[in-house]
Structure 1
Amino acid sequence: MIRMENVTKRYDANAAPSVDDLTLDVPEGSTVALIGPSGCGKTTTMRMINRLIEPTDGRIFVNGEDVTKGDPVKLRRHMGYVIQNVGLFPHMTIAENVAAVPKLLGWDQQKIVKRTDELLGLVGLDQQEILNRYPRQLSGGQRQRIGVARALAADPAVLLMDEPFGAIDPIARLRLQDEFKQILKRVRKTVVLVTHDLDEAIRLGDRIAIMRAGRIVQYDTPDAILSHPADEFVANFVGIDRAIKRLTLFSVADAMLAGAPPVSTTGVAASANLREALSLMIAANSDVLAVIDASGTVTGHLTRAAIFAI
């Protein structure tokens, strides 16, 4: 879907490039997280895709078309873009904000109203309560949801996200990340996400590109990166606790055993991840948990050994 081919960006001819001969393939319908230390070139890389930043060298293809040769304004109208501070127009109502790109594309009013209602439902907001409000009247989490809705308004195939949840408090951030994952299950998009948060990259990314000094040092699935760091830099970047982080990639259902536990013990939902389950085991000073469904019925059990075998 997206291919960056030998892309370089130089801001100064006498300085090292911000992005250096980078080649990256983003499969259709996947989410790729770009991550690395400050100044590594991740935001520059993403912004070259919609030509907010023009590449110095190389080519960028979207759905087989070389977008470096076309009209950048037209290109941006067909890509969703979400930034950390949302960027909603403060003088416009929520309805007007969401409708901004469809209006530019010439949609009729009936279609815009229908699409706006669909999107507010998709991001979990009550359209009757929120449509006529202004951004200043919303919470940070609500504004971020509206930012996602606006980015999806014209139903773009590509969604670019630059630290989209970085300004939200940790509890709301986790909830929004989970909600965004559910949204992507319903509306299949190709997503490029820039983040400084490794946990966010692991949670949202189908693949992660770890960057250093304008180059990609490892590009793989979260499981592969946490299991087999490409070099010492990647190993240090993902941290000594990478084995614990890796447990978030698997649910209790992936490791549970049949039958009730041999002794009475703490319960855990089958949908919980194994990192959460291990924390419960440690808190309960137990090597086994009962796996329960939504009604509290025991459906199996989970052992410490089964977690370690993942």
Structure 2
Amino acid sequence: MITMEHVTKRYTEGGAASVDDLSLVVPEGTTTALIGPSGCGKTTTMRMINRLIDPTEGKIIVNGEDVTRVDPVKLRRHIGYVIQQVGLFPHMTIAQNIAAVPKLLGWTEAKIRSRTAELLDLVGLDPDEMLRRYPRQLSGGQRQRIGVARALAADPPVLLMDEPFGAIDPIARTRLQDEFRQILQRVRKTVVLVTHDLDEAIRLGDRIAIMKNGKIVQYDTPDAVLSNPADAFVENFVGIDRAIKRLSLFTVKDVMDSLAPREDSAKVTSGSNLRDALALMVAANSDVLAVVDDGGSVKGQLTRDAIFSV
């Protein structure tokens, strides 16, 4: 879906490369997280995909077309874009914000109304409550949801996200990340996500591209990056606690057994990740947790040894 071939970006002739001979393939329907220290070129890389920045050298293919040969305005109408500060038009209602691109594409009013209601439901907001409001009347989390809805309005095959949840408090950010992951399971988009948060990259990315000095140092699944860092830079970047971070990739139901736990065991839901389960074990000073379903019925147990076996 997205292919970058030997892409370089220099802002001045003969100057240092912000992105240096970068090649990357983002498979259709997957999410790739670009991450690295400040100035590594991750945002520049993403912005070249929809030609907010033009490459100095190389080729970028999106949906089978070289983006440098496509009208940039038309290109952007078929690529969703979500940024940290959301970028909603303050003088327009929520309905008008979501309808902006569909109107440019010539959609009928009936189709726009139907799509707007569908998207608000998708991001967990009530159309009757939201449509007539203005961005200033919403919370930060609500504005971010509207930003996602607007990016999805014209049903683009590609979605670019630049630090989309960075300005939101940690509790709301984790909740929105989980909700966005569920949305992607339903709508299946090809996503490029820029983030400085490794936990966010692990939670949302099917693959992670770790960048340094305009180059990709390692591009692989979260499990592979955490299990086998490519070099000392990646090992230092993912942190000494990378084995703990890796536990978030697995759920309790992946390693639980069907044996009955002790009656006084602390409880964990089967859909929880193993990192959270281990935290519960430590808090309960126990080597065993009772595994329950969403209704609270006991389904088995989770042991410390099972967690450490992954």
TM-score (norm 1): 0.99
Superposition pairs of residues 1-310 of structure 1, within 5 angstroms? 1-262=1-262, 264-310=264-310
1:182 alignment partner AA: Q
Q: Is the 2:119–2:149 contact (alpha carbons within 8 Å) kept by the matching residues of 1?
A: yes
In structure 2, distance between residues paired with 1:262 and 1:92 = 58
Post-superposition CA distance 1:42-99 (Å, at most 9, x none)? 0000000000000000000012211111111100000000000000000000000000
**C-alpha distance in structure 2 between counterparts of 1:295 and 1:215, whole Å:** 48
Q: CA deviation at 1:263?
A: 5.9
Give the Å deviation of 1:295: 2.2
1:198 Cα deviation (Å)?
Answer: 0.3
Asked whether the 8 Å contact 2:2–2:63 carries over to 1, the reply is yes
Aligned length: 310
Rounded Cα–Cα distance in structure 1 between residues aligned with 2:262 and 2:86: 51
- CA distance in structure 1 between the partners assigned to 2:130 and 2:296 by the alignment: 36
Q: Higher mean Cα deviation, 7-16 or 272-281?
A: 7-16
Measure the CA separation in 2 of the matches of 1:128 and 1:294.
30
Which stretches in structure 2 are left out of the alignment for 5+ residues?
none
Q: CA deviation at 1:258?
A: 1.4
1:24-56: CA deviation from partner (whole Å, max 9, x where unpaired): 000000000000000000000000000000000
Note if contact 2:262-2:290 (Cα within 8 Å) is conserved in structure 1: no
How far does the alpha carbon of each residue in 1:234-276 deviate from its partner, in whole angstroms, 9 at most, with x for none? 0000000000000000000011011212563111100010011
Q: Distance in 2 between matches of 1:285 and 1:70?
A: 60
SS at 1:196 equivalent: coil
Partners of 2:213 and 2:15 in 1: how far apart? 12
Looking at structure 2, the residues matched to 64 and 102 of structure 1 have their Cα atoms a distance apart, in angstroms, of: 23
SS at match of 1:18: strand
Dislocated runs of 4+, deviation >6 Å = none
Q: Distance in 2 between matches of 1:294 and 1:69?
A: 51
Residue type of the alignment partner of 1:293: D
Q: Which letter maps to 1:142?
A: Q
Q: Report deviation, 1:298.
A: 1.1
Paired with 1:33 and 1:221, the residues of 2 have a C-alpha distance of 10
In structure 2, how many angstroms separate the alpha carbons of the residues matched to 1:79 and 1:15?
30
Counterpart AA for 2:137 = Q
Q: Deviations over 1:162-183 (max 9, x none)?
A: 0000000000000000000010
How many angstroms apart in 2 are the aligned matches of 1:279 and 1:129?
38
**Is the partner of 2:17 in helix, strand or coil?**
coil
What letter corresponds to residue 193 of structure 2 in structure 1? L
Structure 1: 5+ residue stretches without partners: none
TM-score of the superposed pair, with normalisation by structure 2:
0.99
Q: Percent identity?
A: 77
Distance 1:255 1:202 in 2: 20
Partner Cα separation in structure 1 for residue 264 and residue 257 of structure 2: 15
Root-mean-square deviation (CA, aligned residues, Å) is: 0.8
* CA displacement 1:175-223 (0-9 Å, x = unmatched): 0000000100110100000000000000000000000000000000000
Aligned partner of residue 19 in structure 1, secondary structure: strand
